[in-house]
């Protein structure tokens, strides 16, 4: 289990990085997904462009509009950032489920998006929030919407020679809450099913909108609008409460997961329903004033 040989470049600036990538090659960021593949010789790139020395990519910008995560910001840094959590709590909620603390010390948020593992948490987060990825190449820059970014299992919309420079996670509007729920076989494993949920309340603190994004149920993050089942039968319930089981049942009916050695398709569908119910309920609680 040793990597195959490759050519290696370690640019120091963004410009150098883009020049290097123009000549072909694979980006090495945190390496927490790429290096296992190299060690198992499941990937054999001719050339690696190691961006770990590009200081200008190591950024985390938090504004009222949202959180912009640079390509070298590690999971741990984003997870620890109180500012980021205040503007968009779902990031921290989801990051706690990404692998183990030691992996999070190295792995990058942007790398996780680009890697586009259908079982990964962050793609679902970006998809649910309608975030964007900023891509750059020697030919120029472009912004890719989450909806168009994830194109298949372990595939994304980046073109050869393109670097994902940053990802943007929009801020959470007022009276909106989020939550993340998943079931994994071991703590820290990729989830059998995971749900990122978002609930928006109206001025009377009644559910106005409910959405959820799913991991491990489809090739790419699946976003479902669950507003209709979530608002159905709210009558007579306290603020922020609803019969979430309706939304759970609706979600379970709409996901089409595959089975694998860890869990069958039926169980995954069932879990999608249970976790939807749990995550929406928690998101709604978090949406109540004073809860964030």
Ligand X SMILES: Cc1cc2nc3c(=O)[nH]c(=O)nc-3n(C[C@H](O)[C@H](O)[C@H](O)COP(=O)(O)OP(=O)(O)OC[C@H]3O[C@@H](n4cnc5c(N)ncnc54)[C@H](O)[C@@H]3O)c2cc1C
Q: Which chain residues interact with ligand X by CB under 6 A?
A: 26-34, 36, 71, 98-99, 103, 107-108, 110-112, 114-115, 120-122, 158, 163-164, 189-190
CA distance 136 to 56: 14
Note whether 26 and 48 are within 8 A (CB). yes
What minimum distance in Å lies between the beta carbon of 59 and ligand X?
A: 12
Q: Does 266 bind another protein (CB under 8 A)?
A: yes
**Per CB under 8 A, 185 contacts another protein:** yes
* Residue 218 touches another protein, criterion: CB under 8 A: no
Strands 47-50 and 7-9: parallel
DSSP character at residue 56: G
Compare residues 28 and 144 and give the one whose CB is closer to ligand X.
28
Is 228 strand, coil or helix?
Answer: helix
122 three-state secondary structure: helix
How many C-beta atoms surround the C-beta of residue 59 within 10 A?
15
Alpha-carbon Rg for the chain, nearest whole angstrom, is: 19
Nearer to ligand X, 58 or 227 (CB): 58
Q: Which does 112 bind (CB under 5 to 8 A by kind): ligand X, another protein, none?
A: ligand X
CA dihedral 84→212→177→72, nearest 10 degrees, is: 0
Residues 29-48, one symbol each (x = binds another protein by CB under 8 A, - = not), give --xx--xx-xxxx------x
What DSSP state is assigned to residue 136?
E
CB neighbours of residue 45 within 10 Å = 18
Q: Does 6 bind another protein (CB under 8 A)?
A: yes
State which residue, 180 or 190, has the beta carbon closest to another protein. 190
Torsion-angle region of residue 41: left (phi > 0), alpha (psi -120 to 50) or beta? left
Rule CB under 8 A: say whether 187 interacts with another protein.
Answer: yes
Count residues contacting another protein (CB under 8 A)? Answer: 47
In the complex with ligand X, the residue whose CB is nearer, 108 or 176, is 108
User: Among another protein, ligand X, none, what binds residue 132 when CB lies within 5 to 8 Å by partner kind?
Assistant: none
Task: Provide the binding-site residues for another protein, judged by CB under 8 A.
Answer: 1-8, 10, 28, 31-32, 35-36, 38-41, 48, 50, 52, 76, 99-103, 105-106, 183, 185-190, 192, 261-264, 266-267, 270-271, 274-275
């Amino acid at each position: 289990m040793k990597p195959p040989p490759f050519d290696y470049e370690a640019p120091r600036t963004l410009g150098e990085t883009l020049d290097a990538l123009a000549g072909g090659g694979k980006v090495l960021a945190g390496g927490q997904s790429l290096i296992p593949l190299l060690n198992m010789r499941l990937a054999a790139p001719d050339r690696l462009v190691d961006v770990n020395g590009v200081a200008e990519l190591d950024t985390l910008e938090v504004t009222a509009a949202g959180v912009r995560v640079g390509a070298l910001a590690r999971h741990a840094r984003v997870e620890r950032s109180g500012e980021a959590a205040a503007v968009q709590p779902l990031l921290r909620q989801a990051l706690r489920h990404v692998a183990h603390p030691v992996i999070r010390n190295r792995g990058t948020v942007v790398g996780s998006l680009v890697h586009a593992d259908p079982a990964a948490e962050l793609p679902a987060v970006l998809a649910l929030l309608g975030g964007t990825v900023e891509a750059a190449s020697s030919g120029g820059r472009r912004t890719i919407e989450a909806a168009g970014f994830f194109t298949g299992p372990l595939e994304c919309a980046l073109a050869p020679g393109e670097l994902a420079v940053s990802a943007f996670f929009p801020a959470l509007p007022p009276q909106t809450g989020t939550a993340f729920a998943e079931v994994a076989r071991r703590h820290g494993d990729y989830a059998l099913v995971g749900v990122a949920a978002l609930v928006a309340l109206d001025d009377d603190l009644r559910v106005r909108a409910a959405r959820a994004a799913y991991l491990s149920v489809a090739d790419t993050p699946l976003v479902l609008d669950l507003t209709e089942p979530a608002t159905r039968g709210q009558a007579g319930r306290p603020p922020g409460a609803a019969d979430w089981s309706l939304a759970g049942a609706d979600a379970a009916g709409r996901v089409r997961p595959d089975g694998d050695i860890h869990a069958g398709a039926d169980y995954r569908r069932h879990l999608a329903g249970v976790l939807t119910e749990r995550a929406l309920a928690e998101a709604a609680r978090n949406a109540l004033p004073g809860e964030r």
